[in-house]
Structure 1
Amino acid sequence: MSEDLGYGWQGELLDLPAYLKRVGHDGDPAPTAATLRALHRAHVTSIPFENLEIMLGRPIDLSLDAVQAKLVERPRGGYCYEHNRLFAAVLERLGYEVTALAARVTLGAAKILPATHALLHVRPPDASRDEPAWLCDVGFGAGPLEPLRLVDGEEAVQDGWGFRLRRGRTVTTWTPDTAEWELHQRGPDSWVQRHTFVQNEVFRIDFEVGSHYVSTSARSPFTTRPFAQRFSSDSLRVLDGVKLTVTRPDGSVETRTLAPEDLPGTLGEDFGIVLEGGDADRLVEFVRARS
């Protein structure tokens, strides 16, 4: 057996039938653009975003076995590194060309923020090199439902949700061909820059480094409160601490505040996240201690 040098996504180790069942995809698995769109939509609408392992005092394990056990075999979810670790293995197994990228989540902020979000740059195997690649983002928790073509000015309305890509500034003077890309999401009143990225390849080990920061740093927003998202064609559900928000494609928003003891039930009913063993009590205790 050859040494694992850290390249690729170990698609050969994936339980593909279990994954396809989890996301409800029973279509043709041939590695085409149509299959990519269908799988992306199925993944985004089936497996929720959540950071609960951090609240429960457990490290995030990005091995493929661990990610499959959590996101596929159990009624749980994960954050971007877990989602895109899994999706990259799926696409690699099916025959796509998969390259990971690192993005800086801005949400409209102007200052430089760390590159702590994972994206995937994907090509079907029979695609011409002259055709644009696809940008996949199954791990943000708020869409897009389907991948976007990596084209400057590309704009897509997916079931009422709006997204666009555009080139931003040139990153440095000594690499003039390296342009920063921006992903924007349409808000109630205007477009909001969601994150920026450049086309520099990152690897599994880079996921490990980014995940360590996100899950342990006091500066990370994910170490202070539970956060979960579930995206669908008709709603974006967000649990931020004890605040539950439901946003519709037309921009309407409903918000309510939960008691800490309501969190486990809400996670199950609204997000499809079921906490096992003593995890529900541990989550409630964590939130009460922070209140």
Structure 2
Amino acid sequence: MTLDLDAYLERIGHAGPVRADLETLNALHEAHVNAVPFENLDVHAGRPVMFSLEAAFDEIVTRRRGGWCYEMNAVFGWALGEIGFEVMRLSAGVRREALGDEALGNHLALLVRLGRDYLADVGFGSSQVHAIALDEGVSDHSPVRMALAKVDDGYWRLHEGGPGATFSYDFRTEPADEALLAERHAWQITDPNSIFCKTLTAKVRRGTRYFILRGRMLETQMPGRSTQQISDTPEELASVLDEVFGLEEPELETLWPKICARHRQLFPHAARDGAG
């Protein structure tokens, strides 16, 4: 299939100039996470998910759905390259701090070189809004903070939530091990122990509002506060997917018992247990 940069820019709603500079990089980054939801509906439902740029472009641009890191950052990195940015794919490891090197390759991130190095990542749950200069410190992605720190073994660690936050990923500033990425991609879409197979997930930004769906639970994070909403029926969850994320899940009725069982594991003290 033909990959069309103009179609991608229309998909994310970017009508401004496209130059290989930091202003454009940040504008594209923010537009992407506000327009394209991070989601794993295909993985959760057991539908085929291909490890290829063409498949990711078809999913995100042509069919106007969302994606996860391997899809989101594949398309974003390709678009940046078409514009003239120097982009390096990174085989990162989410929760490497706890899991060790076996986590490496479970996340695709991007390094963009613009006189200095920047971490770009539209696929880490849509939490990062703009590129982060490769320096130790904290950056604001309201209502989320990110903290970048050096690790003693030569890795960088990005903490979602500020310095020392437990949810993080590690990376080195070297070209991705593409075979490792493909291997970890295959594991995450097939192994029942993979979080992507266990939990239906969708996340998207809307300015400073950050919507996080895990199964039946929708959390809306805003500066200084957050709210939660539980879907009690497949119809209610379908409305959330449509109205908040612009997504449809054709197998929602079939998946509902699995979604309810996972809800009980994730939120054992939730006030309502619904029909599951």
- 1:162 pairs with 2:141: no
Contact 1:141 1:231 in 2 (8 A): no
* Unpaired segments ≥5 residues, structure 1: 1-11, 171-178
1:139 is aligned with what amino acid?
Answer: G
Find out whether 1:180 has 2:155 as its counterpart: yes
Per-residue deviation, 1:191:
4.8
Report the CA distance between 1:159 and its aligned residue: 4.1
Alignment of 1:118-129 (within 5 A): 118-124=108-114, 127=115
**Rounded Cα–Cα distance in structure 2 between residues aligned with 1:206 and 1:137:** 19
Q: Is the 8 A contact 1:138 1:144 kept in 2?
A: yes
1:134–1:264 CA distance, 2 compared to 1 (3 A)? same
Counterpart of 1:202 in structure 2 is 176
1:31-110 to 2 correspondences below 5 Å: 31-106=20-95, 110=98
Residue 257 in 1 paired to residue 246 in 2? no
Using the TM superposition, give the Cα deviation of residue 218 of structure 1 relative to its aligned residue in structure 2, in angstroms: 2.4
CA distance, structure 2, for counterparts of residue 81 and residue 102 of structure 1: 10
- CA distance in structure 1 between the aligned counterparts of 2:173 and 2:50, rounded to whole angstroms: 26
Which amino acid in 2 is paired with 1:16?
Answer: L
> How far 1:148 sits from its partner (Å)?
0.2
**Alignment-mate amino acid for residue 129 of structure 2:** L
How far does residue 103 in structure 1 lie from its aligned partner after superposition? 1.9
Match among 18, 21, 35 for residue 10 of structure 2: 21
Please state which structure has a larger fraction of its residues in helix.
2
Q: Quick one: structure 1 residues 38 and 105, their matched pair in 2 at CA, closer, same or farther if it must change by over 3 Å?
A: same
Say whether residues 1:214 and 2:188 are aligned partners.
Answer: yes
| Equivalent residue letter for 2:24 | T
TM-score by length of 2: 0.85
The alpha-carbon deviation at position 287 of structure 1 amounts to 2.9
Name the SS for the 2:46 alignment partner.
coil
In structure 1, C-alpha distance between the alignment counterparts of 2:25 and 2:206, rounded to whole Å: 17
Per the normalisation by structure 1, the TM-score is: 0.81
Gaps of 5+ in 2: 263-275
| Structure number with higher relative contact order (C-alpha < 8 Å, ≥ 6 residues apart) | 1
Deviation at 1:266, TM superposition (A): 0.8
Please tell me the root mean square deviation across aligned C-alpha atoms, in Å: 2.3
Q: CA deviation at 1:285?
A: 5.9
- Percent identical: 31
**Corresponding pairs, count:** 259
Q: Report the CA distance between 1:48 and its aligned residue.
A: 0.4
Task: Describe the shift of the 1:43–1:51 C-alpha distance in structure 2 as closer, same or farther (beyond 3 A).
Answer: same
Equivalent residue number for residue 176 of structure 1: none
Residue 155 of structure 1: how far off its partner (Å):
2.4
The structure 2 residue matched to 1:137, chosen from 115, 118, 121, is 121
Task: Report how far residue 99 of structure 1 moved.
Answer: 0.8
